[in-house]
């Protein structure tokens, strides 16, 4: 007799949208995954990725116990043997070469995982290495950089109040494919349509007519990397035409006059040529934005991953400020989540830092305790004191996700030792000596620590484990806890020891820490903003109450809160940080004081709805259908290069070359070509049965590790010059 089917409600952990799921399960078998219509945030929305959670759980390629690489292949080993070998090699390398000889890279799935978020930092601190890297510097570092220097905290990130705005200006963002990024907004298509139905307007600036641009009221093509000029000209127009109206925040900000002087010479006429947007269109856009009752400017991956990403996000914040749309309903606002990450880190002095140390080879500054990942390969390949000899990767595949992937591939192959905490043998982890596989998302509890900080409404939701882990499996938090214990060489502190009272990660499990953080959060019984939520009422929000709210709870729209959150030394908004202002000289030198880059073609990436991280290509349902790894090219460029639709082409850059099919389309502007990220599963030794049959080609075999935003250190993927020719 079989078990009856049960319904489980949880949050999808595969992207930033936090969509609610209704999962039908029988025993250990997943029967169906649907959108949870009762989820107050996602309202039943679901994208194709969520249905692949079943594929990941049942994947025969997924590792379920530690493995060791040998001369004849991979062999399973026990957890004790694996932990012993990992820690002994870390200590051996650091003892011989110094503590910085161990490097660590953490991929973005860590941010989707409460166990990794809580327990990896204490382990990383035991390494005492400065060679720390993550996906942040290939993705979003400019957002954090601008927030830190303007507001004093790297997580004080302005979030578009999309549900109440009248005018939304998007640069380099495609939320219909990403489901929102640094703007957690499930069901974003209907949210944007609602904006239009209430008489609002959506304007998209992008070198490609994306899925979001098709929905927009207006779309302007823009030359890759020139967004900084457009933003400068918008501000210049607003100041020149007397449209600036910062409102009440003006009394709490420094540097407005300095900003006005700094942008004065960036007229729409001056930037029209380099951006390809007519001067009058720029001027009208500035008027429309400033004249809207509420408006918000939002920039994402396309403006983050270019040579002026830091300036772009500073200017976006300024545009929202000078029009009175910062920290105002319908504008760019700040969250107050149930687990107040900003409040906790402010209280503990972890608001961020910059330039405390620099990379050894290129002297690139750290930010928030991490070095730019563009420096990772050179730190392995360049001999000398401090050279990385051993590496730890955690839920990351930097060979496919960071610039100049082939160089990193070579660097990893030359390490003395490497350990990966990962569920797959992929393009990166195939170089590991030991792989420690954690359980998957459906086997663990889930609470989004970070994406509630980035959400367009204040919400809270806890998902208990759905499926029982296999016997002898380890959760990621258990792996980090055990590695930490062995690194310090003694038992972790208990709550009865003096040093253990505040060591929550040494003596508590994830659900206990979540409960504690909720109780002392803004809506908890011990918080400063207690709210009555249904039956939990007087006791405030805590985990037992939240568990009963299986669909999650809505804590209301975003409220003005910036002045209470500011962490700058003088408690005021810094509109004109000297370090950022100085970078305007680089803009003039690059775009205005000489010929613009007239390279035949310029490469940009693209996001796809059925793909987020490279390991999703091992889900059969996400890769079915026609080949999605293609080179998009405008018909005029195809004609000029004597290329035809569907033919195989060779794409070359300074760092390498790849081959892939050509797709001719007017959705990209002339002079621009586009390749999606995350593909390139043709490397020897990869054990991803589905992905290797749909290998595609890696855009990061073309991107350049030397091409970065010099202000922030973020990788500059957008705007790589390439040559395209028929494949022979």
Helix (H) / strand (E) element for 660: namely strand 657-664
Give me the pLDDT at residue 494, please: 62
Looking at the predicted structure, is the pLDDT value of residue 536 above 50?
no
The predicted-structure confidence for 71-91, as pLDDT tens digits, reads as follows: 999 999 999 999 999 999 999
**Spans of all domains in the chain:** 149-338, 597-726
- Compute the Cα dihedral for 664, 667, 672, 674 and give only its sign: negative
Give me the pLDDT at residue 493, please: 66
The predicted-structure confidence for 552-568, as pLDDT tens digits, reads as follows: 999 999 999 999 999 99
Looking at the predicted structure, is the pLDDT value of residue 530 above 60?
no
Looking at the predicted structure, is the pLDDT value of residue 497 above 90?
no
Quickly state the pLDDT bin for 442 (edges 50, 70, 90): very high
Q: Which fold, 597-726?
A: Barwin-like endoglucanases (2.40.40)
The predicted-structure confidence for 226-282, as pLDDT tens digits, reads as follows: 999 999 999 999 999 999 999 999 999 999 999 999 999 999 999 999 999 999 999
Place of tokens 């690139």: 364
Give me the pLDDT at residue 534, please: 42
- Partnered with residue 10 across adjacent β-strands are 21
Looking at the predicted structure, is the pLDDT value of residue 532 above 70?
no
DSSP string, 319-334: HHHHTT-BTSTTSEE-
Give me the pLDDT at residue 591, please: 85
Quickly state the pLDDT bin for 419 (edges 50, 70, 90): very high
The predicted-structure confidence for 294-324, as pLDDT tens digits, reads as follows: 999 999 999 999 999 999 999 999 999 999 9
CA distances from 305 to 96, 148, 616 (A): 37, 18, 22
The contacts of residue 283 (CB under 8 Å, 6+ apart) are: 237, 268
Note whether 384 and 360 are within 8 A (CB). yes
- What is the rounded end-to-end Cα distance, in angstroms, of the chain? 61
CATH class of the 149-338 domain in this structure? alpha beta
Three-class SS state of 57: helix
DSSP strand pairing (20-26 vs 29-35): antiparallel
Query: pTM of the entire structure?
Result: 0.96
Q: Please give the structure tokens belonging to residue 10.
A: 């949880």
Give me the pLDDT at residue 537, please: 45
CB atoms within 10 A of CB 58: 12
Residues of the chain above pLDDT 90, percent: 91
Q: Cα–Cα distance between 396 and 420 in angstroms, integer? A: 9
User: How confident is the prediction for the chain on average, in pLDDT?
Assistant: 94
The predicted-structure confidence for 593-633, as pLDDT tens digits, reads as follows: 654 445 479 999 999 998 888 889 999 999 999 999 999 99
Give me the pLDDT at residue 499, please: 56
Looking at the predicted structure, is the pLDDT value of residue 533 above 50?
no
DSSP strand pairing (132-134 vs 102-106): parallel
CA distances from 516 to 413, 540, 542, 544 (A): 43, 12, 8, 11
Q: Please give the structure tokens belonging to residue 365.
A: 């500054």
Strands (E), 338-496: 354-358, 365-367, 390-394, 417-421, 434-436, 457-460
Looking at the predicted structure, is the pLDDT value of residue 172 above 60?
yes
Give me the pLDDT at residue 529, please: 54
Three-class SS state of 179: coil
């Amino acid at each position: 007799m079989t078990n009856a089917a049960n319904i489980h409600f949880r949050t999808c952990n595969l992207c930033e949208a936090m969509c609610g799921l209704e999962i039908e399960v029988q025993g250990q078998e997943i029967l169906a995954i649907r959108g949870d219509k009762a989820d107050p945030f996602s309202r039943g929305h679901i994208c194709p990725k969520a249905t692949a959670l079943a594929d990941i759980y049942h994947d025969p390629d997924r590792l379920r116990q530690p493995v060791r690489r040998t001369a004849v292949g991979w062999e399973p080993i026990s957890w004790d043997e694996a932990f012993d070998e990992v820690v002994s090699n870390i200590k051996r390398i650091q003892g011989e070469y110094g503590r910085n000889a161990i490097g660590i890279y953490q991929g973005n799935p860590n941010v989707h995982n409460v166990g990794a978020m809580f327990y990896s930092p204490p382990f990383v601190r035991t390494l005492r290495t400065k060679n720390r890297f993550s996906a942040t510097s290939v993705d979003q570092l400019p957002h954090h950089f601008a927030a830190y220097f303007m507001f004093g905290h790297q997580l004080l990130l302005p979030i578009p109040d999309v549900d109440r705005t009248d005018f939304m200006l998007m640069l380099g963002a495609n939320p219909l494919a990403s489901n929102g990024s640094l703007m957690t907004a499930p069901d974003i298509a209907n949210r944007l349509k609602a904006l239009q139905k209430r008489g609002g307007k959506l304007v998209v600036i992008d070198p490609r007519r994306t899925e979001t641009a098709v929905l927009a009221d207006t779309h302007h093509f823009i030359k890759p990397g020139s967004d900084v000029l457009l933003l400068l000209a918008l501000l210049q127009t607003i100041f020149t035409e007397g449209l600036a109206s910062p409102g009440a925040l003006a009394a709490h900000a420094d540097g407005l006059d300095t900003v006005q002087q700094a942008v004065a010479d960036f007229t729409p006429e001056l930037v029209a040529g380099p951006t390809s947007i007519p001067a009058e269109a720029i001027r009208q856009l500035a008027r429309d934005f400033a004249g809207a009752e509420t408006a918000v400017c939002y920039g994402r991956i396309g403006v983050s991953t270019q040579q002026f990403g830091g300036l772009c996000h500073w200017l976006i914040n300024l545009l929202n400020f000078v029009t009175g749309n910062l920290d105002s309903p319908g504008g760019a606002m700040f969250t107050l989540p149930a687990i107040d990450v900003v409040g906790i880190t402010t209280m503990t002095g972890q608001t961020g830092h910059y330039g405390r140390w620099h990379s050894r080879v290129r002297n690139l500054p750290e930010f928030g305790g991490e070095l730019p990942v563009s420096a990772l390969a050179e730190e392995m390949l360049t001999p000398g004191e401090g050279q990385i000899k051993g590496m730890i990767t955690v839920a990351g595949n930097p060979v496919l996700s960071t610039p100049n992937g082939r160089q990193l591939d070579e660097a990893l192959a030359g390490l003395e030792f490497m350990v990966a905490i990962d569920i797959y043998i992929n393009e990166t982890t195939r170089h590991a000596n030991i792989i420690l596989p954690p359980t998957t998302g459906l086997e663990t509890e889930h609470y989004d620590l970070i994406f509630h900080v980035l959400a367009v409404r204040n919400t809270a939701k806890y998902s208990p484990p759905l499926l029982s882990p296999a016997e002898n499996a380890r959760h990621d938090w258990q792996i980090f806890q055990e590695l930490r214990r062995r690194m310090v060489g003694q038992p972790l502190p208990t709550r009865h020891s003096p040093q253990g009272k505040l060591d929550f990660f040494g003596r508590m499990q994830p659900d206990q820490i979540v409960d504690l953080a909720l109780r002392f959060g803004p809506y908890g019984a011990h918080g400063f903003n207690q709210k009555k939520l249904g039956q939990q009422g007087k006791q405030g929000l805590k985990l037992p109450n939240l568990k009963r709210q299986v669909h999650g709870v809505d804590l209301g729209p975003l409220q003005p809160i910036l002045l209470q959150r500011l962490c700058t030394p003088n408690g005021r908004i810094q509109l004109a940080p000297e370090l950022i202002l100085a970078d305007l000289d680089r803009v003039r030198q690059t775009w205005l004081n000489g010929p613009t880059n007239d390279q035949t073609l310029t490469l940009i990436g693209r996001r796809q709805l059925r793909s987020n991280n490279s390991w999703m290509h091992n889900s059969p349902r996400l890769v079915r259908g026609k080949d999605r790894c293609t080179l998009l090219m405008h018909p005029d460029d195809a004609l000029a290069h004597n290329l035809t639709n569907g033919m195989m082409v060779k794409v070359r850059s300074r760092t390498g070359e790849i081959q892939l099919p050509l797709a001719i389309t007017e959705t990209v502007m002339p002079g621009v070509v586009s390749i999606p990220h995350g593909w390139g599963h043709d490397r020897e030794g990869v054990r991803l049965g589905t992905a290797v049959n749909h290998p595609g080609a890696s855009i990061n075999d073309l991107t350049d590790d030397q091409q970065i935003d010099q202000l922030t250190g973020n990788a500059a993927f957008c705007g790589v010059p390439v040559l395209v020719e028929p494949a022979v």
